[in-house]
Amino acid sequence: MDRRFLYFGRSLMQNTKIGIFDSGVGGLTVVDQIRRLLPAAELLYVADNARAPYGPRSAEEVLNFSRQITNFLLAQGAGLIVIACNTATSVAIDTLRLEYPDISFVGMEPAVKPAATHTRNGRIGVMATELTLSGSRYQQLVTEYAYSTEILADPCVGLVPLIEAGDWESGAVKSKLRAILDPMLAAGIDALVLGCTHYPLLREQIKAICGDGVEIIDPAPATARQVGRLYISLTDTENKTYCTPLHRFHSTGKSLPLERVLFRLRLPYRLSLASSNLG
Ligand code: DGL
């Protein structure tokens, strides 16, 4: 562990929180990585589960939700915003960067580049939402990094609600995963991109279907490293004071899905769960 990540800074971002959001519990896979890297940083999380899933919605709707949540997080004292959602990143990050030029945003995108680099046989699978897959950012990634790679992409319709419902071992989850993965495996993929932050919550189930021959790629650790670099650059790491942070988790709908996943991930937080209507 790099000791620099263990401390709060005292100047620019003293007492400033890292704001993180997703349509639901998926972004907790990113929270998990960030808190490992920055255990003293205070995190403020919004799960917009009253309006999840984002995948089947229009780009305009998801941009508006992202704007509302950004305003909420900034009002709560966030100094850095992590869009822990591939779908919201795809439609909102460019606009948010223009609208909030003084705020740093970190986004997520399907890890097509590492998958195209790691594949040995030139065939990769991409699991992502329909809005992500239809967006120009994804198309650009493919054109730039995977032009000579065969891509089997699936919009995983209906998977996010099953994950939010929490019964990850259910027959419904297994058969949904089979319907998504079987055609990819039949085509011979050797790398699989988890292009939605909800999907790493099913990593074990996905691995059980894919076996050892498929490398499963989750961009959350790389995203957390990027957050760490930014956080360090925005804070004064001299005159440090260690303190145990109080993280806050907000849901726009019921808080049970959040509580369930926080418990399952064994996230060692003092919690302040608060439902809030951002709309
Ligand atoms: N977790 C999200 C993502 O990374 C959103 C999924 C959804 O709400 O459809 O894309």
3-108+221-275 and 112-218 agree in CATH topology? yes
* Pocket flag, ligand 1, residue 235 (CB < 6 Å): no
Please indicate whether residue 196, judged by its CB atom, sits closer than 6 Å to ligand 1: yes
Which is it for strands 78-83 and 123-127: parallel, antiparallel or unpaired?
unpaired
pLDDT of 11 higher than 80: no
The ligand 1 atom nearest the CA atom of 132: 10
**Whole-model pTM?**
0.92
Contact 157, 56 (CB under 8 A): yes
- Give the residue, out of 20, 21, 22, with the most ligand 1 atoms within 8 A of its beta carbon, to mutate for a pocket test: 22
Nearest atom in ligand 1 to the alpha carbon of residue 55 is: 9
Angle between helices 171-186 and 203-210 (to 10 degrees): 40
Whether ligand 1 lies within 6 angstroms of the CB of 23 is answered as: yes
Higher pLDDT, 241 or 17: 17
The model's pLDDT over 55-86, given as tens digits with 9 standing for 90+, comes to 999 999 999 999 999 999 999 999 999 999 99
CB 22 within 8 A of CB 55: no
CA of 189 to the centre of ligand 1 (A): 23
85 lines ligand 1 (CB under 6 A): yes
Q: Map out the domains of the chain as residue ranges.
A: 3-108+221-275, 112-218
CATH number of 112-218: 3.40.50.1860
The answer to whether the CB of 86 is under 6 A from ligand 1 is yes
pLDDT digits (tens, 9 = 90+) for 94-138: 999 999 999 999 999 999 999 999 999 999 999 999 999 999 999
What is the arrangement of strands in the sheet containing 150-154, beginning at the earlier edge strand?
A: 150-154, 123-127, 191-194, 215-217
- Which ranges of 107-195 does DSSP label H, i.e. alpha helix? 112-118, 130-134, 136-145, 159-165, 171-186
Residue 85 annotated in active site:
yes
Q: Catalytic site residue 196?
A: yes
Q: Which of 216, 2, 262, 249 is nearest to 114 (CA)?
A: 216
Could you tell me the distance, in angstroms and rounded to a whole number, from the CA of residue 242 to the centre of ligand 1? Answer: 34
Provide CATH code, domain 3-108+221-275: 3.40.50.1860
